[in-house]
Chain A
Amino acid sequence: MADDHISSWFRPSRRRVLTLMGASAAGLVAPGLLGRGSALAAPPSEPTGQVIVGFSQEPTVFNPHMPHIEVDEGIHFSVFDPLFIVDEKGEFQPALATEVPSAENGGISKDGLHWKIKLRDGVKWHDGEPFTAEDVKFTIELLVDPDFKSWRRDGHELVENIKVVSPTELTFDLKSPYAPYPSILAATFIVPKHAFADIDPNNAPFNNAPIGTGPFKWAERMAGDHITLDANKDYFGDGPYLERLIYKYIPDLTVLYTQFKTGDIDVVGLQWITPDKYEEAKDLPGKAVEVVPGATVESLSFNMGRPQFQDPKVRQALYYALDKQTIIDALYYGLPTPTETFMPQQSAYYNADLPKHEYDPEKAKSLLDEAGWTPGSDGIREKDGVKLAFTNSTTAGNHIREQAQQFIQQSFKDIGVDMSISNLPPAVMWGDYWMMSKFDSVVVGINFLTGSDPDVSNYLAPTSIPAKGGAGQNTWQYENDEVGKLLKEGGSTFAAEERKSVYVKLQEVVRNDLPFLPMFQYATVRGHKEGVEGVVPNINVRIDSWDVATWYWDK
Chain B
Amino acid sequence: MLRFLFGRLWQSLILLVIVSVIGFAVLNLAPGGPLSQFALTPGMTQAQLARIAHQMGLDRPLPVQYWEWFTRLLQGDWGRSYRDNQPVLAVIGSHLWATLLLMGTSTLISVLIGTWVGVLGAIRRYSVFDYAATVGAMVALSIPTFWFGLIAIYLFSLRLGWLPAGNMYTIGDGSMLDYAVHLIMPSLVLALVNVAVWSRYMRTAVLDVMNQDFVRTARAKGLTRFAVLMRHILRNALVPMITLLGLQLPTILGGALVTETVFTWPGMGRLFLDSLGYSDYPVVMGLLMLSAILVLIGNLMADIAVAIIDPRIRLG
Of residues 190 through 239 on chain B, the ones whose CB sits less than 8 Å from some CB of chain A are: none
Q: Scoring A residues 447 to 469 as 1 if CB is less than 8 Å from chain B, else 0, what string do you get?
A: 11111000000100000101000
Of residues 222 through 246 on chain A, the ones whose CB sits less than 8 Å from some CB of chain B are: 222-226, 246
Contacts of B170 in A (CB 8 A): 264
Select which of A70, A208, A446, A447 is within 8 A of B84 by beta carbon.
A208
Who on chain B is nearest to A147 by CB? B55
Select which of A3, A7, A67, A255 is within 8 A of B167 by beta carbon.
A255
Contacts of A466 in B (CB 8 A): 46
Instruction: Tell me whether A255 and B45 are in contact (CB under 8 A).
Output: no
Does A427 sit within 8 A of B, measured CB to CB?
yes
Looking at A25-33, A362-370, A470-478, the stretch in contact with chain B turns out to be: A470-478
Instruction: Tell me whether A69 and B37 are in contact (CB under 8 A).
Output: yes
Contacts of A259 in B (CB 8 A): 167
Does A10 sit within 8 A of B, measured CB to CB?
no
Does B248 sit within 8 A of A, measured CB to CB?
no
Select which of B157, B167, B279 is within 8 A of A427 by beta carbon.
B279
Contacts of B42 in A (CB 8 A): 3, 5, 447-451, 542
Who on chain B is nearest to A207 by CB? B85
Given contacts A5-B45, A428-B36, 16 further A-B contacts (CB under 8 A): A60-B84, A61-B83, A61-B85, A70-B41, A152-B48, A153-B51, A224-B94, A248-B171, A264-B171, A430-B40, A431-B33, A444-B40, A445-B40, A449-B42, A450-B43, A451-B42
Contacts of A248 in B (CB 8 A): 171
Instruction: Tell me whether B32 and A425 are in contact (CB under 8 A).
Output: yes
Interface residues of A (CB under 8 A from B): 3-5, 7, 50, 52, 58, 60-63, 66-67, 69-70, 149, 152-154, 202-203, 207-208, 222-226, 246, 248-252, 255, 258-259, 264-265, 424-435, 444-451, 458, 464, 466, 470-473, 542
Who on chain A is nearest to B271 by CB? A224
Q: Which 9 A-B pairs have the closest CB atoms?
A: A3-B43, A5-B43, A431-B32, A428-B32, A471-B47, A466-B46, A60-B84, A427-B32, A224-B266
A222 to B165, CA, bound (A): 20
Known contacts A226-B171, A447-B42, A458-B43; is-contact A255 B165 (Cβ 8 Å): yes
A340 to B44, CA, bound (A): 23
Instruction: Tell me whether B165 and A258 are in contact (CB under 8 A).
Output: yes
Who on chain B is nearest to A1 by CB? B42
A471 to B267, CA, bound (A): 40
Instruction: Tell me whether A472 and B32 are in contact (CB under 8 A).
Output: no
A207 to B166, CA, bound (A): 30
Does B52 sit within 8 A of A, measured CB to CB?
yes
A115 to B266, CA, bound (A): 48
Contacts of A458 in B (CB 8 A): 43, 45
A248 to B167, CA, bound (A): 10
Does B104 sit within 8 A of A, measured CB to CB?
no
**Would you list 26 pairs from A and B whose C-beta atoms are within 8 A, ordered by A residue?**
A50-B172, A58-B274, A61-B85, A63-B85, A69-B41, A70-B41, A149-B56, A152-B48, A153-B51, A154-B43, A207-B85, A223-B84, A224-B266, A225-B266, A255-B264, A258-B166, A259-B167, A264-B167, A264-B170, A425-B277, A427-B34, A429-B36, A430-B32, A431-B35, A435-B46, A471-B46
Please indicate which of the listed interface residues B33, B42, B94, B278 has the most CB atoms of chain A within 10 Å of its own CB. B42
Instruction: Tell me whether B168 and A225 are in contact (CB under 8 A).
Output: yes
Of residues 224 through 280 on chain B, the ones whose CB sits less than 8 Å from some CB of chain A are: 264, 266-267, 270-271, 274, 277-279
In the assembled complex, the CB of B153 is this many whole angstroms from the nearest CB of chain A, namely 9
A257 to B199, CA, bound (A): 39
A208 to B94, CA, bound (A): 13
Who on chain B is nearest to A57 by CB? B274
Instruction: Tell me whether B44 and A473 are in contact (CB under 8 A).
Output: yes
Contacts of B274 in A (CB 8 A): 58, 224, 251
Who on chain B is nearest to A438 by CB? B31
A225 to B170, CA, bound (A): 11
A458 to B166, CA, bound (A): 42
Who on chain B is nearest to A264 by CB? B170
Instruction: Tell me whether A426 and B277 are in contact (CB under 8 A).
Output: yes
A541 to B40, CA, bound (A): 15
Please indicate which of the listed interface residues B31, B35, B56 has the most CB atoms of chain A within 10 Å of its own CB. B31
A450 to B45, CA, bound (A): 12
Contacts of A431 in B (CB 8 A): 31-33, 35-36, 39
Known contacts A5-B43, A69-B38, A471-B47; is-contact A433 B267 (Cβ 8 Å): no
A208 to B84, CA, bound (A): 7
Does B16 sit within 8 A of A, measured CB to CB?
no
Who on chain B is nearest to A542 by CB? B42
Instruction: Tell me whether B45 and A7 are in contact (CB under 8 A).
Output: yes
In the assembled complex, the CB of A471 is this many whole angstroms from the nearest CB of chain B, namely 4
Instruction: Tell me whether B171 and A52 are in contact (CB under 8 A).
Output: yes
Instruction: Tell me whether A432 and B32 are in contact (CB under 8 A).
Output: yes
Known contacts A224-B95, A248-B171; is-contact A427 B46 (Cβ 8 Å): no
Instruction: Tell me whether B32 and A433 are in contact (CB under 8 A).
Output: yes
In the assembled complex, the CB of B74 is this many whole angstroms from the nearest CB of chain A, namely 20
Who on chain A is nearest to B93 by CB? A223
Known contacts A223-B91, A429-B36, A433-B32; is-contact A471 B45 (Cβ 8 Å): yes
Select which of A226, A425, A446 is within 8 A of B40 by beta carbon.
A446
Who on chain A is nearest to B280 by CB? A60
In the assembled complex, the CB of A1 is this many whole angstroms from the nearest CB of chain B, namely 8
Does B30 sit within 8 A of A, measured CB to CB?
yes
Select which of B35, B43, B166 is within 8 A of A252 by beta carbon.
B166
Please indicate which of the listed interface residues B37, B51, B98 has the most CB atoms of chain A within 10 Å of its own CB. B37
A434 to B91, CA, bound (A): 30
Please indicate which of the listed interface residues B56, B83, B86 has the most CB atoms of chain A within 10 Å of its own CB. B83
A252 to B166, CA, bound (A): 10
Does B49 sit within 8 A of A, measured CB to CB?
yes
Instruction: Tell me whether B45 and A472 are in contact (CB under 8 A).
Output: yes
Who on chain A is nearest to B83 by CB? A60
A223 to B88, CA, bound (A): 12
Contacts of A250 in B (CB 8 A): 166-167, 264
A448 to B172, CA, bound (A): 40
A426 to B264, CA, bound (A): 20
A466 to B51, CA, bound (A): 14
Who on chain B is nearest to A453 by CB? B43
Who on chain B is nearest to A397 by CB? B277
Instruction: Tell me whether A251 and B264 are in contact (CB under 8 A).
Output: yes
Contacts of B37 in A (CB 8 A): 69, 426-427, 430
Contacts of B41 in A (CB 8 A): 3, 69-70
A451 to B170, CA, bound (A): 37
